[in-house]
């Protein structure tokens, strides 16, 4: 059997949700550049779940449904308060609380299309509430109830801080959500599809996907980028830091990609936002450091930034805690996971590849007391 390490280049399914062709990303045929400049995140959610753009009435209906579903069940909030809030990664909390959401949903195991759609709505609506409630609770603050009159992006920032966000912050955050919503068969989406292809439930699929997104080779890279920028501390330290990493053959977080060769089409939007927001908040040094890292990596390793590199400075400029960067990725990417889960159910077949066995053969069993 020929083994393709990391399943590189293997086509594992058909999908009509998003495509990466010649380094261009599209959601249902709409170029990411167009969506990033024009769309609300809610519009993208509709697009991914229905594989067409909504009419104005349909978009308003989805916004209303998301707002109606945003509150957490009261017992779940109580359980959240019991967690070791200051001693745990928020992705572990999110993974656990999403699993608990399934416990509190009496329809969790109903598998018909409309029940699964309702679960999708609940998950999309509640995940921002979980992340923001956690963030406030660990600071000794009360969670803030979602507001029905704010957009998805504005509501997230409002629930985080208790203050209505400025329009520039909402615009930037909405764009970041649009850019992170889906990405073909990335590791977490594949995980979600593998899980539900056993005909397991939507909550199990999303819980598994959160676990996969958490790792620093995937969604966890945005937090790791911020850690690196903090360690570097200033533009004059960049070269020495990066050379040392290269000498030790360590990966530079936020660079490289399994699929893109020329570059990640989402990165330029995040770079532009990072430039604007770091300047506005008097943190241009952060941007200057990023630019020097980008130059060095291009020159020395021919590597270019992925979606995680500049998103770190964007979220930092919005005064978001660094360990919330990956949960925010999940706030957006859950829309794509849900689209893929619904698509998997539509035309399901168990996903079960083979392994090329390399262990011992015909081993002789010796009873434990004789070993
Ligand atoms: C949302 C996302 O998930 S985007 C990705 C987020 N992850 C990161 O930013 C983490 C850093 N990047 C990486 O680890 C990788 O580029 C990945 C995981 C994204 C892709 O990995 P793969 O396709 O498996 O590439 P692989 O790790 O085999 O790298 C190929 C070569 O490029 C090098 N390389 C790739 N990425 C990097 C990097 N970030 N820093 C330094 N070298 C790198 C590898 O060392 C390897 O070199 P070699 O052939 O001399 O050994
Ligand atoms: O597609 C990938 O491998 C990782 C990625 O960029 C994403 O999930 O957005």
Under the banding of pLDDT at 50, 70 and 90, the label for residue 5 is very high
CA 243, CA 79: separation in Å to the nearest integer? Answer: 46
At 163-179, the pLDDT tens digits run 999 999 999 999 999 99
Tally the domains of the chain.
2
Q: Give the C-alpha distances (Å, rounded to integers) separating 353 from 4, 82, 193, 202, 308.
A: 12, 40, 13, 22, 30
- Asked if pLDDT for residue 218 goes beyond 90, the answer is yes
Q: Would you say residue 327 lies in a domain? A: no
- Asked if pLDDT for residue 79 goes beyond 90, the answer is yes
Q: Would you say residue 365 lies in a domain? A: no
CA 125, CA 142: separation in Å to the nearest integer? Answer: 19
Q: Which of 105, 308, 316, 340 is catalytic?
A: 308
Q: Would you say residue 27 lies in a domain? A: no
Domain limits for position 111: 40-216+336-346
- Asked if pLDDT for residue 1 goes beyond 90, the answer is no
Q: 312: domain CATH number?
A: 1.10.230.10
207 and 86: one domain?
Answer: yes
- The pLDDT of residue 97: 98
Contacts of 66 (CB under 8 A, 6+ apart): 42, 45, 121, 124, 125, 152
Q: What percent of the chain has pLDDT over 70?
A: 100
Six token digits for residue 57: 């009435």
Six token digits for residue 371: 């070993």
- The pLDDT of residue 223: 98
- The pLDDT of residue 25: 98
DSSP secondary structure letter of residue 281: T
160 and 281: one domain?
Answer: no
Q: What percent of the chain has pLDDT over 90?
A: 99
Ligand 2 centroid to Cα of residue 219, in Å, is 8
Six token digits for residue 71: 């509150």
Average pLDDT, rounded, for the chain = 97
- From the alpha carbon of 184, which atom of ligand 2 is closest? 1
Ligand with the closest atom to the CA of 228: 1
Is the separation of the CB atoms in 183 and 336 below 8 Å? yes
CA 283, CA 313: separation in Å to the nearest integer? Answer: 9
Which of 251, 301, 311, 336, when mutated, tests ligand 1's pocket best, judged by the most ligand atoms within 8 Å of its CB? 251
At 278-337, the pLDDT tens digits run 999 999 999 999 999 999 999 999 999 999 999 999 999 999 999 999 999 999 999 999
199 and 230: one domain?
Answer: no
Give the residue with greater pLDDT, 2 vs 139.
139
340 and 313: one domain?
Answer: no
89 and 138: one domain?
Answer: yes
CA 288, CA 285: separation in Å to the nearest integer? Answer: 5
| Strands lying side by side in the sheet with 24-27 | 18-21, 24-27, 30-31
If you average pLDDT over residues 79-108, what whole number do you get?
96
- The pLDDT of residue 364: 97
249 and 279: one domain?
Answer: yes
CA 41, CA 175: separation in Å to the nearest integer? Answer: 7
The C-alpha torsion from 96 through 102 and 104 to 107, rounded to 10°, is: 180
If you average pLDDT over residues 139-160, what whole number do you get?
97
Asked about 308 being catalytic, the answer comes back as: yes
**Phi and psi for 30 in degrees, rounded to 5?**
-90, 125
The burial class, CB within 10 Å (0-12 / 13-18 / 19+), for 246 is middle
Under the banding of pLDDT at 50, 70 and 90, the label for residue 362 is very high
If you average pLDDT over residues 74-99, what whole number do you get?
96
Ligand 2 centroid to Cα of residue 8, in Å, is 13
Under the banding of pLDDT at 50, 70 and 90, the label for residue 70 is very high
Asked about 288 being catalytic, the answer comes back as: no
If you average pLDDT over residues 188-196, what whole number do you get?
98
Ligand with the closest atom to the CA of 264: 2
181 and 249: one domain?
Answer: no
Q: Which of 183, 218, 257, 340 is catalytic?
A: 257
Query: Of 269, 219, 255, which is closest to residue 31 (Cα–Cα)?
Result: 269
Query: Of 132, 317, 328, which is closest to residue 229 (Cα–Cα)?
Result: 317
72 and 134: one domain?
Answer: yes
């Amino acid at each position: 059997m020929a083994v393709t390490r990391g399943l590189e280049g293997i086509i594992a399914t058909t999908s009509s949700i998003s495509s990466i062709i010649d380094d261009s990303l599209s959601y249902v045929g709409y170029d990411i550049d167009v969506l990033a400049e024009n769309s609300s995140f809610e519009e993208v959610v509709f697009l991914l779940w229905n594989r067409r753009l909504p009419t104005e009435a349909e978009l308003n209906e989805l916004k209303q449904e998301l707002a109606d579903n945003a509150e957490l069940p009261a017992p779940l909030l109580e359980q959240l308060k019991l967690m070791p809030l200051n001693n745990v990664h928020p992705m572990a909390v999110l993974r656990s609380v999403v699993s608990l959401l399934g416990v509190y949903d009496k329809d969790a195991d109903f598998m018909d299309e409309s029940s699964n759609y309702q679960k999708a709505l609940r998950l999309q609506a509640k995940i921002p509430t979980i992340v923001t409630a956690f963030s406030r609770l660990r600071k000794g603050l009360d969670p803030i109830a979602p507001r029905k009159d704010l957009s998805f992006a504005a509501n997230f920032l409002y629930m985080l801080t208790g203050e209505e966000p400025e329009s520039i912050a909402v615009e930037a955050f909405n764009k970041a959500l649009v850019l992170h919503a889906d990405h073909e068969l990335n590791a977490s989406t594949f995980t979600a599809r593998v899980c539900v292809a056993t005909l397991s439930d939507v909550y199990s699929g999303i819980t598994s996907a959160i676990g996969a997104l958490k790792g620093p080779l995937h969604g966890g890279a945005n937090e790791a980028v911020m850690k690196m920028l903090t360690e570097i501390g200033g533009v004059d330290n960049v070269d020495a830091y990066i050379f040392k990493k290269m000498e030790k053959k360590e990966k530079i977080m936020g660079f490289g990609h399994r699929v893109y060769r020329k570059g990640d089409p989402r990165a330029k939007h995040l770079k532009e936002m990072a430039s604007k927001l770091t300047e506005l908040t008097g943190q241009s040094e952060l941007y200057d450091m990023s630019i020097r890292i980008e130059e060095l990596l291009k020159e020395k390793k021919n590597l270019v930034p992925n979606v995680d590199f500049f998103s770190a400075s964007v979220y930092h400029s919005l005064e978001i805690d660094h360990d919330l960067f990956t949960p925010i990725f999940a706030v957006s990417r859950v829309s794509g996971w849900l689209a893929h889960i619904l698509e998997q159910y539509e035309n399901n077949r168990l996903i079960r590849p083979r392994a090329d066995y390399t262990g011992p053969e015909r081993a002789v069993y010796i009873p434990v007391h004789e070993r």
